[in-house]
Homo-oligomer: A and B are copies of this chain.
Amino acid sequence: MTETDPSQIKGFNRARERAARALLEDYVEMIADLAAEFGEARITEIAARLGVAHPTATKAVARLKREGLAVSRPYRGVFLTEAGEALAEQVRARHRTVVALLRAVGVPEDLAELDAEGIEHHVSTRTLKAFEAFLASQGGEKG
């Protein structure tokens, strides 16, 4: 019984995984942002920016470490592994594309940023491709 019981996956896949993925992505994205800004991501800063208490961030980072997305030593900053960097880049690319798509269809910039936050975690790869194609065609027509 060390592995997930298949009979529970279905239910698990409802709200749970939905939120779980978004959470992971939010943390990875934030760590990447902080790394770019300060060279490292400190637990306190991560917690502050995500609006959670620091133990919550600690737990999340522990999970990222379990999943091989980040590394850290006690009382030191958190860093993304290659896999983590890759995920971060993917998440950010998706974010940019979603924002661009929203703007392209007439959503005001500030609102586009805001809504993209929630939307981006639910855009499949194929849909993202479609967005890119659409943006390319738009750009072509206009520029």
- List residues of A whose CB falls within 8 A of some B CB: 10-11, 13-15, 18-19, 22-23, 50-53, 56, 101-102, 104-108, 111-112, 114-115, 117-119, 121-124, 126-127, 130-131, 133-134
Contact = CB atoms under 8 A, between A and B. Distances in A.
Nearest to A131: B105
A11 B122 CA distance: 22
A115 B105 contact: no
Contacts of A101: 105
A29 B17 CA distance: 20
This protein's copies in its complex:
2
Contacts of A50: 14
Contacts of A52: 10-11, 14
Contact of A130 (B107, B131, B133): B107
Contacts of A13: 51
21 contacts: A10-B52, A11-B51, A11-B52, A11-B56, A13-B51, A15-B19, A18-B19, A105-B131, A105-B134, A106-B133, A107-B126, A107-B131, A108-B126, A108-B130, A111-B124, A111-B130, A112-B127, A115-B122, A119-B122, A119-B123, A122-B122
